[in-house]
Structure 1
């Protein structure tokens, strides 16, 4: 459906309201002081149920534990029996993403106080004072070489763990060719290029140059919040495209797209926020039905046998009048997904809400 928007700023706001609810634009917080963490005498908080605040991302640790980044709630580790808030020592922050790197260290992204590194014993805090591009961090990604990339509200930060103690950060902004400094997501493709979503035009980086990618009509992809690779190496992502301009009014379309290395194919016009491929090759997405993020949000599964058909088979798993965010396939095949109010698990038959004792099954 075509939508008319008065300004470009309205267009960039409308796709996924999750960013508007939790992200504080911190491009002005570059001078924030480094936070001194409480002493290790403070113990992690352990509960039998999960967070009841917004869960933006869900990841998995090497040992199979579920890692949950909950804004204002903490970063939780679920071992199959209980939830442990491993960010208790840090305190309240706007947690947005979490990652366990190949060395077994944990990284916590916040949109108000930079990045925290946890080696299992102690925390290290990185802000602009330590070289981070910006203290509003929305994504963490580890590439094939073990380099950690941070998508921030002020550009991209590249962190080389092998240079810890030296000049570890290398930053990229619009001055270096980025189309926009507000980075939403990062993904490495099979050729080694980084695909980068921003709040405006998306691009890829080949190690030297940032190139805005366009569809066959020469139009750019905007507001890309989630991307994934399928088993063939194709890139899937959700985006909005500016179809026309009438004075200050922008005419935009929302949709799910696939790039196979040659052409961009529009799959449908369903809103797509987060996206993953499971081990069987199915594609899972969360997104709002309406492009302004108001109303129902849905979790969809695209059947792997029909992914490359003109009209792939799509199954609606859940429809809910609450925002749905990041998705994870756990090692047991269950699908975890975040929401405006906590985290859910789908085991193929039952959806479990972990935010209260009464809802656990």
Structure 2
């Protein structure tokens, strides 16, 4: 188990660069918003891991190393660990029914009510390479259940998820599973709500689907994969409006589940290079092997962000690849988001943010 933890911590360090914490272990920090400096352009230089538009129309941008920024259409406001966030890496942003904004960070869960940031967790990663350890209060483990208003969060290296039911945050542990690949853990890397009351949790080692009563398990064993040739290493997941489940991997591309059938979508479309090692090695242009984000737009198009080969769009018939030739400064999209106007936003690994105009990409920040 010790080797697994060391391996996963190394992955998190290489891919998403942890930052040292400067906040205290206090539960909440009040923010003097009027005193916060404002800028008219986004000043992040690390990757844009998450994008979100709240009910007031504000845009939120979560970074890999520098916290979160909110844009009201004129100016930016920034929050970091110094303001109370559990970590400066923001993996996802959500809003609850009361208008409170929730941040899923590398180290846990924080919320912002417009006045203060509250820390709800302190995920225990043990000792990292710089001997910095994090200890803190964790939500109590609860029984599995779900409702329509739940918010779901990744739980660091813990093999389970956090669930906020509108009143309390609980930790829910996954049913025990054997990791066929000893270098993988069942810690969450992506979450997607689906049809038939289903919610999907993508983990490094496999997928858990939960419908409120029972689990559907997808892993190396159920897929019959040879872990020496094409091991699962899941980084993104999406159930689309047609009920199809898309599973993005770091190495073997995209798996597509339709009904009881699962195929390698990248293989079918000849988007895995013949010389590919099907693992974490850098890919050649024109491939779809390392998929860190998947989204569906309001027209039913499926979008993929590949670590090495740019942005891909699938319209149900053909695949279109967008790269630096189409206005991007970087070929690694970490986040894709459609706003209430139907405009598509893309957060890139170099900290830039783009909108798609139907043909090319226009830089916003």
Q: TM-score, normalised by structure 1?
A: 0.71
CA distance in 2, matches of 1:157, 1:25: 22
Query: What's the secondary structure of 1:73's corresponding residue?
Result: coil
Contact 1:133–1:157 (CA under 8 A) maintained in structure 2: no
Contact 1:45–1:86 (CA under 8 A) maintained in structure 2: no
Count of paired positions = 304
Shift of 1:98: 1.5
CA distance in 2, matches of 1:61, 1:275: 20
For residue 48 of structure 1, the aligned residue among 40, 46, 64 is 40
- In the alignment, structure 1 residue 155 sits paired with structure 2 residue 159: yes
For residue 296 of structure 2, the aligned residue among 257, 277, 302 is 277
Shift of 1:278: 0.2
1:57-206 alignment, distance < 5 Å: 57-87=50-80, 89-90=83-84, 93-112=88-107, 114-128=108-122, 129-132=136-139, 145-152=148-155, 153-164=157-168, 168-173=169-174, 176-177=176-177, 180-206=185-211
Per-residue displacement from partner, 1:266-292 (whole Å, max 9, x unpaired)? Answer: 22241221000000011111013xxxx
Question: Whose strand proportion is higher, 1 or 2?
Answer: 1
Contact 1:299–1:318 (CA under 8 A) maintained in structure 2: yes
CA distance in 1, matches of 2:29, 2:335: 30
CA distance in 1, matches of 2:263, 2:56: 37
Residue 35 of structure 1 corresponds to 26
**CA 1:232–1:210 in 2, change beyond 3 Å: closer, same or farther?**
closer
**CA 1:255–1:160 in 2, change beyond 3 Å: closer, same or farther?**
closer
**CA 1:68–1:233 in 2, change beyond 3 Å: closer, same or farther?**
same
The alignment's C-alpha RMSD in Å is 3.7
Shift of 1:177: 4.7
CA distance in 1, matches of 2:314, 2:7: 27
Shift of 1:133: 7.8
Query: What's the secondary structure of 2:259's corresponding residue?
Result: coil
CA distance in 2, matches of 1:261, 1:316: 27
- In the alignment, structure 1 residue 218 sits paired with structure 2 residue 224: yes
CA distance in 2, matches of 1:217, 1:96: 28
Query: What's the secondary structure of 1:47's corresponding residue?
Result: coil
Whose RCO is larger (CA < 8 A, sep 6+)? 1
**CA 1:177–1:21 in 2, change beyond 3 Å: closer, same or farther?**
closer
Residue 298 of structure 1 corresponds to 310
Per-residue displacement from partner, 1:113-147 (whole Å, max 9, x unpaired)? Answer: x211112222221124443489xxxxxxxx76212
Residue 129 of structure 2 corresponds to none
Contact 2:330–2:350 (CA under 8 A) maintained in structure 1: no
Per-residue displacement from partner, 1:304-337 (whole Å, max 9, x unpaired)? Answer: xxx2xxxx31112224655320111122232212
Contact 1:202–1:222 (CA under 8 A) maintained in structure 2: no
Contact 1:154–1:173 (CA under 8 A) maintained in structure 2: no
Structure 1 unpaired stretches of 5+:
1-6, 135-142, 241-252, 289-295, 356-361
Structure 2 unpaired stretches of 5+:
123-135, 180-184, 267-271, 273-287
Shift of 1:67: 1.5
